[in-house]
């Protein structure tokens, strides 16, 4: 296979189709056999799979004698991917090489969820050891394939798949059942009209890239740890026998990528040492916005925003932020149809963006003519910021009734808190939802308080169980106390820093002022409620001073509020420290990302893997064997469920 690829590279300009035919056949057959070896590794390890070139075999003149097979193969595969453009002639070979990469990297499925020094991933390790110039080419090609999403019509290909002249190809000579299985990827490639799927090569490119950038080899030794938080190296060496994670060149290439239209060194004067990956940020931004409903696209956006300061800066200065935000908000609106992991990633993306004050200001200036996917209410001429507030509050409401995840609650409220001081002309509906959020959380808090009191009485009757229940309820009450304080902090920030620009918020607080009354003397809330009651007293007194004929209408009340907002000076308001929440990645993110990525790969790609061999995440065992070609559906951890996957059962 490697030699066929080298021949394809050396004759790339005007290469005859027979060269690519040989390479496609070699890559596909190699994938089948390698997948079988990995799935059936003894003791769920692949240490017995020692790959080396037989000395009796003829050796190409340009190959080093002591090079092991996995390094030879991965160098050939990555060289072709990185150096040969995708065209109708090379499309199938590119696609099969990406499938081969997924098979070769599937050794991760044999390891447990926490990477350890005993994990054996020879092909990924070989990919990590490639020279930096090749790494840059591969990352660039994978991203460009994702951005452009090249597709072909097989009918227009310049050669027949798996055939050589008038002779049938090797895969066409096997039995019909096996042929159907082995040709499965190409069945997915062609639609009823004969046109190729836009997303097949793009999706495979993205999956391969994500697995590469999130891989970190756990090694034992005395090498120093690299502190990713400040890019400095710890001075103290590790003791012998301790473990650390090696650097990932693909991750570093993505982190230091720059825009082809703009060189940061021109303005900042700090040039990155060595070659730098240059990408079309504008095209990448548009592609992400178009496909953010896909979980893998959200993971790529997260990786770029979290790791690449240049891309984050580029996103923040775009004037069409709705390109990214609208698909994110629509996905959160349909949270019941999304996995919990996808909801987490989208909320973290919003939290990262909300850390920037210019972002919080600009989203309120962008007016949306309509929001067709929002069904509960007709939203006309709503600002993007108001829609974001509505959607985040709706997510909290959904989480309260379904997921009940504290981390999700905290992330939503932290994003709202970051936005609060910069709110501008918040819509009537989003202002009402903000006050309703406090009411909803307060009712949950009151229920917990009642439960705790009942359990405390039960505990006094010498009931050990009652005492334990009371402790659990007290813990939950403490959590909801923090949530209520956060909502009050959000309202305080709007009233303190942005009241004149938000008459609808004042109206919503006045309209529902009774929901705050029970907490006015509460020791945890009274200080925060003082400012709210200062505002209420000011506007209530202005309302009382108005002589109006007939009953008050919404329009009349709002008009009085708008007039008096102009004379508001904030007298008597207490200034609290402005809340600012930032996102920090966990110390071992690979424990989340690697299982999550492989669940996505197995559910989306044609790579079917025997569930009995998977240790990376929990898989339900097969129920009943249907045939040699088994269809397996499995539920995974964290609420992730895989779509149907076809695998060959040995």
Q: What are the tens digits of pLDDT across the range 485-526? A: 999 999 999 999 999 999 999 999 999 999 999 999 999 999
Phi-psi region of 40 (alpha: psi -120 to 50; beta: other; left: phi over 0): alpha
| Long-range Cβ pairs for the range 524-529 (8 Å, 24+) | 524/481, 524/484, 524/485, 525/484, 525/485, 525/488, 527/574, 528/485, 528/488, 528/489, 528/492, 528/576, 529/488
Parallel, antiparallel or unpaired: strands 226-227 and 218-220: unpaired
Q: Which of 56-60, 227-231, 362-366, 522-526 has the highest mean pLDDT?
A: 362-366
Is 60 exceeded by the pLDDT of residue 643? no
pLDDT tier for residue 98 given thresholds of 50, 70 and 90:
very high
pLDDT (0 to 100) of residue 261: 85
| Long-range Cβ pairs for the range 281-284 (8 Å, 24+) | 281/310, 281/311, 281/314, 283/147, 283/148, 284/143, 284/147, 284/311
Q: Is residue 112 part of a domain?
A: yes
Counted domains in the chain: 1
Parallel, antiparallel or unpaired: strands 243-245 and 367-370: unpaired
Q: Do 82 and 212 form a contact (C-beta atoms < 8 A)?
A: no
**639 or 226, higher pLDDT:** 226
pLDDT (0 to 100) of residue 529: 94
Is 60 exceeded by the pLDDT of residue 595? yes
Q: Do 599 and 617 form a contact (C-beta atoms < 8 A)?
A: yes
* CA–CA separation, 433 and 396 (whole Å): 11
DSSP 467-535: HHHHHHHHHHHHHHHHHHHHHHHHHHHHHHHHGGG-HHHHHHHHHTGGGTGGGTT-TTTHHHHHHHHHH
Parallel, antiparallel or unpaired: strands 232-233 and 226-227: antiparallel
Phi-psi region of 381 (alpha: psi -120 to 50; beta: other; left: phi over 0): left
Nearest partner of 279 among 299, 300, 263, 301, judged by Cα = 263
Q: What is the 3-state secondary structure (H, E, C) of 52-64?
A: CCCCCCCCCCCCC
Q: Do 215 and 590 form a contact (C-beta atoms < 8 A)?
A: yes
* CA–CA separation, 253 and 634 (whole Å): 35
Mean pLDDT estimate for the chain: 80
* CA–CA separation, 368 and 24 (whole Å): 49
DSSP three-state, residue 569: coil
Q: In terms of residue numbers, what domain contains 143?
A: 1-46+67-151+198-222+249-256
Estimate to the nearest angstrom the gap between the alpha carbon of 360 and the chain centroid.
Answer: 21
Q: Do 455 and 470 form a contact (C-beta atoms < 8 A)?
A: yes
pLDDT (0 to 100) of residue 149: 84
DSSP 312-323: HHHHHH-S-THH
pLDDT cut 70: percent of the chain above it: 76
Q: Is residue 139 part of a domain?
A: yes
Beta bridge partner(s), residue 645? 632
Q: Is residue 647 part of a domain?
A: no
For residue 592, give both structure tokens.
């989340």
pLDDT cut 90: percent of the chain above it: 51
Which helix or strand (DSSP H or E) is residue 245 part of? Answer: strand 243-245
* CA–CA separation, 435 and 127 (whole Å): 53
pLDDT (0 to 100) of residue 181: 37
- Main-chain phi, psi angles of 215, to 5 degrees: -85, 130
**168 or 32, higher pLDDT:** 32
Task: State pLDDT tens for residues 341-390.
Answer: 999 999 999 999 999 999 999 999 999 999 999 999 999 999 999 999 99
pLDDT tier for residue 190 given thresholds of 50, 70 and 90:
very low
- Residue burial 574-589, b: 16+ Cβ < 10 Å; e: rest: eeeeebebebeeeeee
Is 80 exceeded by the pLDDT of residue 548? no
DSSP three-state, residue 43: helix
Residue 415: other Cβ atoms inside 10 A: 26
**Among 231-240, 306-315, 463-472, 522-531, whose mean pLDDT is lowest?**
231-240
* CA–CA separation, 356 and 572 (whole Å): 29
pLDDT tier for residue 562 given thresholds of 50, 70 and 90:
very high
Q: Is residue 92 part of a domain?
A: yes
- Residue burial 365-401, b: 16+ Cβ < 10 Å; e: rest: eeebeebeebeeeebeebbbbbbbbbbbbbbbbbbbe
pLDDT (0 to 100) of residue 454: 83
Q: Is residue 628 part of a domain?
A: no
Phi-psi region of 550 (alpha: psi -120 to 50; beta: other; left: phi over 0): left
Task: State pLDDT tens for residues 255-304.
Answer: 999 999 876 554 444 555 668 899 999 999 999 999 998 999 999 999 99
Q: Do 111 and 222 form a contact (C-beta atoms < 8 A)?
A: no
- Main-chain phi, psi angles of 596, to 5 degrees: -60, -45
* CA–CA separation, 274 and 262 (whole Å): 18
pLDDT tier for residue 182 given thresholds of 50, 70 and 90:
very low
Nearest partner of 418 among 395, 388, 398, judged by Cα = 388
Q: Is residue 26 part of a domain?
A: yes
* CA–CA separation, 429 and 389 (whole Å): 10
Q: Is residue 383 part of a domain?
A: no
Nearest partner of 390 among 428, 446, 444, 351, judged by Cα = 428
pLDDT (0 to 100) of residue 475: 84
Q: Is residue 384 part of a domain?
A: no
Which residue carries 């009340």 as its tokens?
A: 557
Task: State pLDDT tens for residues 603-628.
Answer: 887 778 888 888 888 876 554 433 33
- Main-chain phi, psi angles of 244, to 5 degrees: -150, 170
């Amino acid at each position: 296979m490697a030699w066929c690829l080298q021949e394809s590279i050396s004759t790339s300009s005007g290469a005859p189709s027979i060269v690519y035919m040989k390479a496609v056949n070699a890559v596909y057959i190699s994938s089948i056999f390698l997948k079988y070896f990995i799935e059936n590794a003894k003791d769920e390890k692949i240490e017995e799979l020692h790959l080396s070139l037989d000395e009796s075999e003829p050796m190409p003149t340009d190959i080093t004698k002591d090079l092991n097979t996995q390094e030879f193969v991965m160098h050939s595969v990555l060289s072709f991917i990185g150096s040969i453009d995708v065209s109708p002639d090379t499309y199938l070979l590119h696609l099969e090489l990406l499938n081969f990469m997924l098979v070769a990297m599937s050794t991760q499925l044999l390891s447990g969820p926490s990477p350890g020094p005993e994990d054996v991933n020879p092909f990924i390790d070989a990919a990590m050891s490639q020279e930096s110039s090749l790494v840059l080419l591969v990352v660039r090609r994978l991203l460009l394939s994702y951005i452009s999403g090249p597709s072909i019509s097989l009918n227009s290909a310049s050669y027949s798949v798996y055939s050589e002249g008038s002779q049938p190809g090797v895969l066409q000579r096997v039995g019909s059942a096996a042929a159907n299985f082995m040709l499965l990827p190409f069945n997915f490639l062609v639609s009823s009209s004969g046109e190729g799927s836009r997303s097949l090569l793009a999706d495979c490119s993205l999956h391969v890239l994500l697995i590469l950038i999130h891989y970190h080899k756990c090694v034992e030794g005395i090498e120093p740890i690299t502190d990713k938080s400040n890019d400095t190296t710890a001075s103290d060496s590790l003791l012998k026998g301790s473990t650390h994670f090696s650097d990932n060149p693909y991750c570093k290439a993505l982190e230091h990528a720059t825009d082809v239209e703009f060189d940061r060194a021109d303005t900042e004067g700090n040039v990155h040492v060595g070659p730098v990956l240059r990408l079309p940020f504008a095209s990448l931004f548009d592609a992400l916005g178009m496909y953010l409903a896909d979980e893998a696209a959200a993971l790529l956006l997260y990786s770029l925003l979290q790791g690449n300061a240049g891309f984050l800066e580029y996103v923040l200065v775009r004037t069409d932020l709705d390109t990214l935000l609208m698909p994110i908000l629509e996905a959160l609106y349909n949270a019941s149809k999304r996995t919990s992991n996808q909801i987490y990633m989208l909320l973290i993306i919003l939290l990262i963006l909300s850390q920037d004050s210019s972002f919080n200001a600009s989203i309120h200036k962008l007016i949306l003519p309509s929001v067709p996917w929002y069904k509960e209410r007709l939203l006309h001429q709503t600002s993007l910021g108001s829609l974001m507030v509505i959607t985040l509050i709706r997510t909290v409401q959904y989480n309260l009734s379904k997921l009940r995840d504290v981390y999700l609650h905290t992330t939503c409220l932290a994003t709202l808190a970051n936005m609060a001081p910069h709110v501008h002309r918040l819509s009537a509906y989003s202002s009402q939802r903000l006050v309703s959020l406090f009411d909803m959380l307060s009712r949950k808090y009151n229920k917990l308080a009642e439960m705790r009191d009942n359990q405390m009485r039960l505990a006094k009757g010498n009931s050990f169980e009652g005492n334990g229940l009371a402790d659990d309820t007290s813990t939950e009450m403490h959590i909801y106390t923090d949530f209520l304080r956060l909502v009050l902090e959000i309202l305080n920030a709007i009233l303190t820093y942005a009241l004149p620009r938000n008459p609808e918020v004042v109206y919503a607080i006045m309209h529902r002022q009774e929901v705050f009354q029970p907490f006015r003397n509460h020791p945890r809330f009274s200080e925060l409620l003082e400012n709210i009651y200062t505002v209420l007293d000011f506007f209530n007194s202005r309302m009382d001073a108005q002589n109006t004929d007939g009953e008050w209408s919404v329009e009349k009340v709002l008009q009085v509020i708008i007039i008096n907002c102009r004379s508001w000076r904030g007298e008597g308001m207490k200034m609290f420290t402005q809340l600012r929440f930032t996102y920090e990645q966990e110390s071992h993110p690979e424990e989340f990302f690697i299982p999550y990525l492989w669940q996505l790969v197995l559910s989306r790609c044609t790579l079917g893997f025997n569930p009995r061999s998977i240790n990376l995440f929990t898989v339900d065992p097969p129920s009943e064997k249907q045939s040699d070609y088994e269809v397996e559906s499995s539920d995974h951890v964290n609420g992730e469920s895989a779509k149907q996957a076809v695998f060959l059962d040995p």
